Amino acid sequence: ARQHITELSTLADEKERTTYHADALYALGLYYQKMSAYGAATEVLTKVCVLTSETQRSNRLWQAHAALAILADNDAIAAVHNRIAAETIRQIAAPIEDKRLQEIFLNAEPIRAILNTSHTT
């Protein structure tokens, strides 16, 4: 995993693409989370939120907020991250004209988990 993250970071530096940097940082944040380095994970994933907001990459934005909700050390902060993730998901789904495809998207397991969590917080 660490090798893959290094390769992503190198590619991001070579291409000078903010979206690539966000992807590399997202992978690094998840890596830190798995390694129980929660402070580092929170710091990196917060950077991902900033970068993805700047580039309007909604898919990575909701994922970063969902990860931050899991890492949050109190319920209020987790609820804020879950609400942002859920709202971002709804914004992604809204322009999907084919209602069947929209429902498939909204019922995908990771999406449904966030939407269900945001309703209970």
Concatenating the DSSP letter of every residue in the chain gives -HHHHHHHHHHHHHHT-HHHHHHHHHHHHHHHHHTT-HHHHHHHHHHHHHHHHHHT-HHHHHHHHHHHHHH-SSHHHHHHHHHHHHHHHHHHHTT---HHHHHHHHTSHHHHHHHHHHHH-
> What pTM was computed for the model?
0.87
What is the end-to-end Cα distance of the chain in Å, rounded?
Answer: 33
pLDDT reported for residue 113:
94
Choose between 116 and 118: higher pLDDT.
116
* pLDDT of 1: 83
pLDDT band at 119 (very low <50, low <70, confident <90, very high): low
pLDDT above 60 (res 93): yes
- pLDDT band for 118, please (50, 70, 90 cuts): confident
Residue 16 pLDDT? 79
Mapped onto helix, strand or coil, the DSSP state of residue 108 is coil
Over residues 33-54, mean pLDDT: 95
**Quick check: 121 pLDDT over 60?**
no
